[in-house]
Structure 1
Amino acid sequence: MAFVAGMAAFFVSCDKGFEEMNTNPNAVTEPVIESMFSTNILRTSGTDFESHRTNLIYAGAMIQHFASTTTYWSGDKYLFNDQYSGAFYVRAYPDQVKEIEQIIAEVQDNPEQINHYAITRIWRVFIYHRITDLYGDVPYSEAGKGYINQVYSPKYDKQSEIYPDMLQELEEAALALDATKASFGAADFIYNGDTAKWKKFAYSLMLRLGMRLTKVDPALAESYVKKAIAGGVMQSNDDLAKVPHTDGPEDINRNMVGRQLITQEIDAANLKGKANSKLSKTLVDFLKNNNDPRLPVIATLWQGNADESKLATSTAPALQKGLPNGYDATSIRTLIPTWGVTDSLPLYSEPNIHTVASSEAPTILQSYAEVELLLAEAALRGWESGSVVDHYNKGVTAAIQHMNLYPGVTIDAAATTAYLTAHPFVGGSMEQQMEQIHTQYWVATFLNSYEGYANWRRTGYPALTPTNYPGNETGGVIPRRLIYPQSEASVNSTQYNAAVQQQGPDLFLTRVWWDKQ
C-alpha cells in the first residue's frame, strides 16, 4: 500500500506543470477576431467560384451585361447547371456564414468590443441579403451554428421573416456604433475601422433593403427608407463600400471577377478575340448610342486586352460591338448569316481587363451612385423631401466619376456634365421616371450583377428582351431566382422539402417573397 501511495504521489507531483510544458507557445488558442474579419471580407467580396459562376455566368448574363456563344454560360440561355446555380449557396454557407457567426459569438458579450459587434452585425446582413435575394427562403436563424450550437440541419427561414430581421439588425447596429471606442482598425479592409462610415453603410444598406420591399410591403418599405434617410446615408464616392485589391501572389488578394475574366474567359493574348465572354449588345448599344464616357472604360476590342499599348485605338467607341444574347456558334447564323464566313467573334467587345476588370480593381459592394438613384425613387414616391432630378443627377454623376477608382482611368467632371446636358432627366409618368432611374442603376451595377439582377427583378428596368434558346428551363422568360444546390435535397432533406413546400417549386420561375408580380 505504501508503494501504491508513493507512486500516486509521484504521478501527482510529475503532473504539476505538465500541461504548460506540453502547450505549444506558438499555437493560437483563441480566435484572432481581426484576422477572421479580414478573411471574411475577402471571401465575401468573392472567390473564383461564386464570383465567376453566379455573378457573371448567371446574374450578369441574365440582365444582359454579358453574352456568350458557349452553352456553359447558363444565364445567357436560361439553362440549368447545378454547379453554377448552386455555386453561391455552397460557397457562402461554409465560408462567409460560418465565419461571421463565429465572430459574432466571440464579441457579442464583450462591452469593450461594442463596435466589433455592431460592424459584424452590419456585415452579417450584407452576407445574408445576397443569399436570400438569389434563392428566397434560406437558412438564416439557425445557419452557421453547427460549431456554436450543434445545429447541423438548419431550417429555411421565410424571406418574409428574414427581411424584417435584417432591417432591424441594421437599425440596432447603426445606433450601437460608438466613435469613442476601438473597432477593427486596419483589419477592416472596407473602412479601416471608421465607425462613421460604417454607420453610413448601415443606413445605405437599409435604404437598399427597404426599397426592395416596395411591391410586397409598401408600408414597411416606406418606414425603413425614411429611417435610413434620417440616419444618414452615403454622401459622396468617398463613402462607397468597396474592397481594395492587389495583384499579389495569393489569389485571395485579387479581384476575383477580374481574375476570372483575365485568365479563363478572355485570355486575350492566346484566344485573340475568340473568348467565351463578350459584352452584351444590350449594354454596349446603350452606352454607345448615348455617347456615354464609361464605354471606353468598360469595353475594348481584344487587341487592347492583349496589349495595353493598343487601348487608345481598341477602346474607340465607334468600334465597339456587343454580342447578342441567347445564341450559340451555330444558331447565331440565323441572326447573322455571315457569321463564320469571316472570323466574326474577334470583332465583338470584351470587358476591359486593364480597368474595370483588372485583378487590381476594387470590388464595389454598394456605391454612392446606387444610393442617390434609390433616393431619386424615394423622392418620386414622396418618401424623401429632395428633388427627383437632383438625386438622379447626383447618382449619374457619381456612377460616372467612380470609374476613376479603376486603374488608369480619368474621366473629368466636364465629361460628366456634358453627358447630363445631352441626356437630362425628362420626367413623365411614374413608370417613365422609374425607367430612367433604374436604367442608370443597371449600368451603375456593372460587375456587381448580384445587385443589378435583384434590382431588375423588383423594378423591371431596363426593359430587357428575353432570349429563347432551345431547351431552356423557362420557356423564354428571364429567371426570377436561382435553384438551390441539388445536394441540399439529400444532406438537409427535411428542411429542404419544407422550404419547397412553403416557397414553391425549386425552379427558376418561382419568385422570391419580395418579387411580387
Structure 2
Amino acid sequence: MKKIFYTSILVSLLTVGCISDDSTYNYDKDKSYDVPAENLFTNAQKALVDQMTTPSVNLNPFRFFSQFWAATQYPEESRYDLRTRNVSNNHWNALYRTVLGNLETAKQVIDTETQPATMSSAQWQTQQKNKKAVIEILQVYTFQILVDSFGDVPYSESLQATIVLPKYDNDSDIYPALITRLNAAIANLDTSEISFSTGDFIYQGDVSKWKTFANSLKVKLAINLADVNTSLAQTTIQDAVTAGVILNNGDNAKFAYPGAAPMYNPIYANLVASNRNDFVSSKTIVDEMNNLSDPRRAEYFELKNGNYIGGINGAANVYQNFSPIGNTLKADNFPSYLMEASEVNFYLAEAAARGYSVGGTADTYYQNAITASFLSWGLTAGDATTYLANPSVNYATAPGTYKEKIGKQAWIAFFNRGFEAWTSYRRLDFPNLVAPSNAVTAAEGQVPKRMTYPVNEQTVNNANWVSASAAIGGDKLPTKVFWDVN
C-alpha cells in the first residue's frame, strides 16, 4: 500500500539487481501491508519531531547554524560541512519519504476504512474528515520546513507515484498554496467530534487544539511573508488571531516521549544512551545569557567550575573544559515541540511592531513570549518579571529596533528549537551571528542561509535540479530563500 514517494528510492532501483532464488527476495520489507492509519500517523509525527529535535550530526545541523551547541571531536558539521555525512540527503529523505510519505499513505488508508456498526454515518464521516484535515495540517507544516530549508522544492508533483522525477516549484509560489491548504483544512475541522482516537501523540485527537495549531501555523507562514507580501501576511495573521492561536503553554503542540526505547527523546538517545560527549554549549549563546543573567541558563547548560562557559563554534572543543548541555534536555521523556506559546507570541510581537491589528502591542506580546518561555522551562512568572525589568531586556529600553529586541529574545527562547531559531535569525537578521573562521569554503564566510540540495537530486533528478539551482541563484549555502530579503 505504501507508494514510492521520492527520487532517493530510485537509486536503489538503479543499482541493485532483482534476480535471486529466494522466493521472498523482491518483497519490500519497508512496505506497509494493511497498516492502520493511526499507526502511519504516529510514525509520521514521531519522524517529524525526531528530525527536528535530534542532535545527530548526520541529520540535523540547525543547533550549529543557530550557534546553540558547539562540537568536540567531530567539528565538521559545525563548520557547515553538509556533504561528508550527506546531511542534506538525510534531512530531505526524513521529511519527504518518512513524514510526508506516511501521512499521504494514511490518507489513502482512511479512504478504505469501514464504518463501525456502532457509529452513525454522520459521526463516522465527520471523524474521517477530521482525520484527513489533521493530516493536511501536518503536511503543510512539513512542506514549510522543506521550503525554509532549501528554497525551491518539489511540491505540486511530489507524493505522486506516477511521477518519479518531480519538478521543483518556486518557493514564493508554494507559501500561498500552503496557506490556501491550511484554510481548507481548518474549514473541514468539526470540533463536535474527535479525529484520531488513538495514535495522536500531540493532541490526542482533540480537534479544537488542532484548529488552534493550524491557525498558529498560518501565523508562522505569514510572518515569513511580511517583507515580501505584506498584504497577504497581514490578512493571514489577523484572520488567524481572530480565529484563535496558541497563546498559552496548555495549547502547545507537544510530542510527549514516553521515555522508553524506542520512544525516548533523541537528545537522550544521542547523548546519554550512547554515552557520547560530542557536544558542549556554544560560547555565542552562553556569553549572551551570562550578560543578561538569564536564569534559564540552569536549564540550558551545566556549570563548569562554577561558571557557564561556552565552546567555540567550528573548533574541536575539549569536552571537559566547557559547559555540557543541561540535564533538563537530556531526560529520556523530555518533550519535543512543533509549536509553542512563546513562539507564537514572538510572531505576534513582530506583527504588532509592523502595524498589524493583532489585539495587543508589541511590548505586551514580547513580555508574554518571554514569560511563556520561562514557564515552559519550569521557572516562575516572578522570574520572568525580574528578567524583564533588566533594562537590556525590557522592550522599552533594550537597544536596537524591534527586529533586534525580538530577534535576540526569540533566539534565546528557541534554544531547543534550532530550526526555528535559524529561521528567525534569517528573517530578522538578529542576533548578529558570525561564521567560524574555519567554516567550509562553500559557506563563503557566512552562516548558511539555506541547505544545499541533496547529492541524490543532482545524480538522479539532474534536469530538475539544474533548473531549480538556476532559479534560486545557485545551489549554494549563502543563497537566500525567497522571504529572506534583508
What interval of TM-score do these two structures reach, taking the shorter chain for normalisation?
0.7 to 0.9
Match of 1:495 among 459, 464, 471: 464
Q: What is residue 417 of structure 2 aligned with on the other side?
A: 448
Match of 1:182 among 187, 194, 197: 194
3-state SS, counterpart of residue 247 of structure 1: coil
- List aligned pairs for 1:336-375, cutoff 5 A: 345-352=319-326, 354-375=327-348
Counterparts of 1:485 and 1:510, CA distance in 2: 15
Q: What code does the residue aligned with 1:258 have?
A: Y
1:413-463: CA deviations, max 9, x gaps? 322222122355243799522211121111121121111111111111112
Structure 2 residue 293 is matched with structure 1 residue 291: yes
Counterparts of 2:430 and 2:268, CA distance in 1: 26
Q: What is residue 194 of structure 1 aligned with on the other side?
A: 206
8 Å Cα contact 1:184-1:193 kept in structure 2: yes
8 Å Cα contact 2:398-2:405 kept in structure 1: no
Structure 2 residue 138 is matched with structure 1 residue 123: yes
Counterparts of 2:175 and 2:422, CA distance in 1: 18
8 Å Cα contact 2:223-2:347 kept in structure 1: yes
Match of 1:249 among 261, 268, 276: 261
3-state SS, counterpart of residue 157 of structure 1: coil
8 Å Cα contact 1:326-1:469 kept in structure 2: yes
1:347-397: CA deviations, max 9, x gaps? 201112x31232310011111001111111111111024121111111000
Counterparts of 1:431 and 1:85, CA distance in 2: 35
Q: What code does the residue aligned with 1:321 have?
A: I
**Distance verdict in 2 for CA 1:436–1:216, change over 3 Å:** same
**Backbone CA RMSD of aligned residues:** 2.4
Q: TM-score scaled by structure 2? A: 0.85
Q: What is residue 272 of structure 2 aligned with on the other side?
A: 262
Q: What code does the residue aligned with 2:457 have?
A: E
In structure 1, runs of 5+ residues without a counterpart are 1-27, 268-274, 302-313, 330-343, 405-410
Q: What code does the residue aligned with 2:141 have?
A: F
Counterparts of 1:447 and 1:189, CA distance in 2: 19
- List aligned pairs for 1:107-122, cutoff 5 A: 107=110, 111-112=125-126, 113-122=128-137
**Distance verdict in 2 for CA 1:118–1:248, change over 3 Å:** same
Match of 1:96 among 96, 99, 104: 99
8 Å Cα contact 1:468-1:477 kept in structure 2: no
In structure 2, runs of 5+ residues without a counterpart are 1-31, 113-123
**Distance verdict in 2 for CA 1:178–1:54, change over 3 Å:** farther
Runs of 4+ in 1 over 6 A off after TM superposition: none
3-state SS, counterpart of residue 53 of structure 1: coil
**Distance verdict in 2 for CA 1:51–1:162, change over 3 Å:** farther
Q: What is residue 16 of structure 1 aligned with on the other side?
A: none
Counterparts of 1:475 and 1:220, CA distance in 2: 33
Counterparts of 1:328 and 1:43, CA distance in 2: 30
**Distance verdict in 2 for CA 1:42–1:470, change over 3 Å:** closer
3-state SS, counterpart of residue 225 of structure 2: coil
Q: What code does the residue aligned with 2:365 have?
A: H
**Distance verdict in 2 for CA 1:100–1:51, change over 3 Å:** farther
Q: What is residue 53 of structure 1 aligned with on the other side?
A: 57
3-state SS, counterpart of residue 351 of structure 1: coil
Question: What is the identity percentage for the equivalent residue pairs of Structure 1 and Structure 2?
Answer: 28
In the TM superposition, residue 70 of structure 1 has moved relative to its aligned partner by 4.0
Q: Which has the higher helix share?
A: 1
Aligned residues: 440
1:159-184: CA deviations, max 9, x gaps? 11111111111112112210123310
Counterparts of 1:432 and 1:291, CA distance in 2: 22
Counterparts of 1:347 and 1:174, CA distance in 2: 50
Q: What is residue 420 of structure 1 aligned with on the other side?
A: 388
- List aligned pairs for 1:15-164, cutoff 5 A: 30-46=34-50, 52-53=56-57, 56=60, 58-74=61-77, 76-82=78-84, 83-107=86-110, 111-112=125-126, 113-146=128-161, 150-164=162-176
Counterparts of 2:70 and 2:465, CA distance in 1: 33
In the TM superposition, residue 240 of structure 1 has moved relative to its aligned partner by 0.8
Counterparts of 1:426 and 1:412, CA distance in 2: 20
1:240-262: CA deviations, max 9, x gaps? 11101022132xx1111332233
Q: What is residue 272 of structure 1 aligned with on the other side?
A: none
3-state SS, counterpart of residue 35 of structure 1: helix
**Distance verdict in 2 for CA 1:169–1:449, change over 3 Å:** same
8 Å Cα contact 2:194-2:206 kept in structure 1: no
8 Å Cα contact 2:314-2:439 kept in structure 1: no
In the TM superposition, residue 51 of structure 1 has moved relative to its aligned partner by 5.1
**Distance verdict in 2 for CA 1:72–1:49, change over 3 Å:** farther
Q: What is residue 366 of structure 2 aligned with on the other side?
A: 392
Q: What code does the residue aligned with 1:43 have?
A: A
Q: TM-score scaled by structure 1? A: 0.80
Counterparts of 2:170 and 2:319, CA distance in 1: 45
